[in-house]
Amino acid sequence: MGIVFTVLGLLIVGMGAFLFLYAKLQVPEADQVALAQTTTVYYSDGTTEMGALSDVNRTIVDEGTLPSYVGEAVVASEDRTFYTNSGIDFKGIARALLNNLTGGDRQGGSTLTQQYVERYYLGETTSYTGKIKEAVLAVKINREQTKDEILGNYMNTIYFGRGAYGVEAASKAYFGHSAKDLTLSESAMLAGIIPAPSAWDPAVDADQAQVRWQRVIDLMVEDGWISQEDAQQATFPTTIDPAEASTASLTGTTGYLLQQVREELGDAGTFTDEQIDTGGLHIISTIDKTDQDAAVQAAESMTQVDKWNTDTMHTALSSVDPTTGEILAEYAGSDYQKRQQNAVTLDTAMAGSTIKPFALLAYAQQGGGIGDVFNGNSPQSFTGLTDHQIQNDSGVSWGRVTLKTATQNSINTAFVALNEKVGPANTMQAAIDAGIPESTPGLDSTLLNVLGTSSPRNIDLTHAYATLANGGQEITPHIVREVQDSKGTSLFTTDTTAVRVFDAGDVSTIMPALESVMQSGGTGEKAAKLGLTVAGKTGTSENQMSAQFVGFTPKVVTTVSMYQSGENGEQEALTNIGDLKQFHGGDWPADVWLQYMRVATAGDEDEDFPWLTTSTRTPSAAATPTYAPQTQEPSEEPTRKTSPTPTPTETKKDESSEEPTPTTTPKSSTPTSTPTDTSTTGGGTENKDESTTENGG
């Protein structure tokens, strides 16, 4: 008897709660709710809007203007009892509850009306309290609206993928015409992908899209909406290119940033496309508005240089805080709508001499120091390269030089000798540990890897040098700082925990060499104009396939990459511009770097790297080369003189006498620069002597 009263009491309490919620909950207008869920991306200050991640692409249409099979396909796919249930399906709920309690895959008993409530009135409800509210509101909507009104509102607000909200926008996004012109097959396809539109988009998974389409067709026959003859005549529809359905917010330079935010959150697996597009999220990026504006202005200053071709020549710039991994600014292209290829995160370009510091680091790990002496004469032969000789830029012989001098002047022969001693596999591993992906095109353990025959992305170089700037602690660069819901509650923050991959003492050992590059007489001497402590490296690859400049202070690491692509996206040699006979990492990329960094470091006081140790290395007798150079040794290093450092808008003269012997480069769909032959110059040496060419340093 007690059990009966208990059950009765629970029923009374439950009924009371239901009536209370029924009276309290209000049904909002569908379009108002959808608009309230637009996701916004902000700059790093958390208040300045960068843009909507996806504009709400929706046009409300009268359900009565659509062919009847449009709604029938949705009903057959999503709620076969729609026209007879009261807004909730007790049998479906009981079946799902039993399955969940017996350990089966979690199921829901949601009707079409409940889906409408869940997605657009309450958000993704997973708690039992949320499900109760969802059921109450579904019943209330079912009583206040006709079935056709509910179905029409559902089809006008549901997300169909490709940034399309509602059946009208979806029809245009997938088929290029209005929903009133949808065919039976097109309607069935749209209805079939509703549960996972981004994953089941025919452009993403054509097989699954067709399976879902066939399921809807079969159910429509089974439920009497169409005849068997109609089903047999139906064929899977053809969709248009997704690029034609791009949203308006993904335009200009900002379009790359917004798309990168979306991709980063997707890769993290925390949010689905639908949650990002309809969840009303507030996404705080790492991008500093002032720095970003400066990056765009600096990169686009190249358009003022004589013979710069905006259609074929590309500039990539990424700037990162080495202590947090936050991307402060990024120039990935001029207009996302015109070129949906992020120059920073997708394009690759030959690294050139920007790889040399990782041989230094591997050497420091083995106990070597930058005061150790190597042969800098040119040309030289090395074991395993019997048919090839390595030479410096224009064949200049430097005599016996310290590694610091070799780094400052990017002397190829000395670095190949160093790599032979260190072991090319160790140089490669140091680059990988710093942040260069192991899958980087051309990255291998051969002797010439030290000359930068691999082709990393711009962001990879920034990542690797940020590890150096952080004293050997690695953090992956990222563009998302935090994600909040519409009320400001934090849902996600990016982990900025650093991982130590190099000893701070080893990094300290090579820092004077990297600083010398950026001082007067070094290949990156323009950086000295910043007036702050700067370290880094320049790089000009074989045959001018790319030009790189990486420079960093204790607070900011910035990489500028330049390269050229052909008609089919294959990489081509950079065309000489601005009356220069060569395209060097130390001139045009350095100009852009300096212009940007003057803004990015404004207000920063000059300071040393806080993690530097007092450890120093003395020259080691073991470093003395045991091989003989293949040319006469000069009695002294060549006389060197510095050249003026104009900005990109100035006319520049190069008094070089000749270009290096060319080698060939394979073609690819994205700009890469993995050479097929480095026997003649081996990447060359970047050189400030106006009587020589610059190639590879």
pLDDT in the model for residue 581: 78
Q: Give just the sign of the alpha carbon dihedral 112, 113, 116, 118.
A: negative
pLDDT in the model for residue 98: 53
Q: What is the mean pLDDT of residues 553-559?
A: 98
DSSP 239: -
- Domain total for the chain? 2
Q: What is the mean pLDDT of residues 353-359?
A: 97
Please indicate, yes or no, if residue 631 is contained in any of the structural domains.
no
Cβ(314)–Cβ(571) below 8 Å = no
Residues 142 and 221 in one domain: yes
* CA-atom Rg of the chain in angstroms: 31
DSSP output for 419-486: HHHH-HHHHHHHHHHHT--TT-TT--SSGGGGG--S--BHHHHHHHHHHHHTTSEE---BSEEEEE-T
Share of the chain above pLDDT 70, in %: 75
Please indicate, yes or no, if residue 562 is contained in any of the structural domains.
yes
Residues 437 and 586 in one domain: yes
DSSP 169: H
Distance CA 518, CA 465 (A): 14
Q: What is the mean pLDDT of residues 426-443?
A: 97
pLDDT in tens, 603-642: 999 999 999 987 543 444 333 333 333 333 333 333 333 3
pLDDT in the model for residue 139: 77
Residue predicted with more confidence, 63 or 353: 353
Residue predicted with more confidence, 84 or 133: 84
pLDDT in tens, 177-199: 999 999 999 999 999 999 999 89
pLDDT in the model for residue 449: 96
Residue predicted with more confidence, 433 or 641: 433
Q: Is the pLDDT of residue 678 over 50?
A: no
- Among 55-59, 82-86, 201-205, name the one with the lowest average pLDDT: 55-59
Most confident segment among 55-59, 376-380, 555-559, 627-631:
555-559
CATH number at residue 346: 3.40.710.10
Q: What is the mean pLDDT of residues 663-683?
A: 33
DSSP output for 123-137: -S--SHHHHHHHHHH
Residues 342 and 425 in one domain: yes
Residue 404 identity: K
Residues 212 and 323 in one domain: no
DSSP output for 26-55: ----HHHHHHHT--EEE-TTSSSEEEESS-
Please indicate, yes or no, if residue 173 is contained in any of the structural domains.
yes
Please indicate, yes or no, if residue 592 is contained in any of the structural domains.
yes
Please indicate, yes or no, if residue 258 is contained in any of the structural domains.
no
Give 388's contacts (C-beta < 8 A, 6+ positions apart).
381, 678, 679, 680, 682
Give 283's pLDDT tier (boundaries 50, 70, 90).
very high
* Residue whose C-alpha is closest to residue 168's, from 423, 158, 447: 158
Residue 655 identity: E
Per DSSP bridges, beta strands 499-500 and 490-493 are unpaired
Give 485's pLDDT tier (boundaries 50, 70, 90).
confident
Give 673's pLDDT tier (boundaries 50, 70, 90).
very low
pLDDT in the model for residue 530: 96
pLDDT in the model for residue 25: 57
pLDDT in the model for residue 663: 32
Q: What is the mean pLDDT of residues 387-395?
A: 84
Residues 228 and 311 in one domain: no
CATH number at residue 216: 1.10.3810.10
pLDDT averaged over the chain? Answer: 81
pLDDT in the model for residue 495: 94
Most confident segment among 282-291, 608-617, 655-664:
282-291
Q: Which of 569, 599, 623 is the last residue of a domain?
A: 623
List of long-range contacts for 165-170, beta carbons under 8 Å, 24+ apart: 165/34, 165/56, 165/57, 165/58, 165/278, 166/58, 166/59, 166/60, 166/61, 167/61, 167/66, 167/70, 168/58, 168/59, 168/60, 168/61, 169/57, 169/58, 169/59
Q: Is the pLDDT of residue 105 over 60?
A: no
pLDDT in tens, 393-427: 778 899 999 999 999 999 999 999 999 999 999 99
Q: Which of 623, 656, 684 is the last residue of a domain?
A: 623
Give 654's pLDDT tier (boundaries 50, 70, 90).
very low
Q: Which of 592, 623, 654 is the last residue of a domain?
A: 623
Q: Is the pLDDT of residue 689 over 60?
A: no
DSSP 498: -
pLDDT in the model for residue 345: 97
Please indicate, yes or no, if residue 464 is contained in any of the structural domains.
yes
Per DSSP bridges, beta strands 327-331 and 313-320 are antiparallel
pLDDT in the model for residue 29: 55
Residues 107 and 172 in one domain: yes
> Whole domain around residue 506: which residue ranges?
298-481+498-623
- Among 196-200, 368-372, 526-530, 687-691, name the one with the lowest average pLDDT: 687-691
Residue predicted with more confidence, 121 or 637: 121
Please indicate, yes or no, if residue 384 is contained in any of the structural domains.
yes
Residues 514 and 603 in one domain: yes
Per DSSP bridges, beta strands 400-402 and 373-375 are antiparallel
Residue predicted with more confidence, 583 or 629: 583
Residues 351 and 460 in one domain: yes
Residues 330 and 236 in one domain: no
Q: Is the pLDDT of residue 109 over 70?
A: no
Residues 86 and 187 in one domain: yes
Q: What is the mean pLDDT of residues 154-165?
A: 86
If you search the block for the tokens 């060319």, which residue do you land on?
Answer: 662
- CA quadruple 325, 331, 333, 337: dihedral, nearest 10: 70
Q: What is the mean pLDDT of residues 358-376?
A: 97
Please indicate, yes or no, if residue 75 is contained in any of the structural domains.
yes
Q: What is the mean pLDDT of residues 595-610?
A: 96
- Among 92-106, 135-149, 309-323, 368-382, name the one with the lowest average pLDDT: 92-106
Residues 222 and 307 in one domain: no
Residues 450 and 524 in one domain: yes
Q: What is the mean pLDDT of residues 53-69?
A: 81
Residue predicted with more confidence, 659 or 566: 566
Whole-prediction pTM value?
A: 0.68
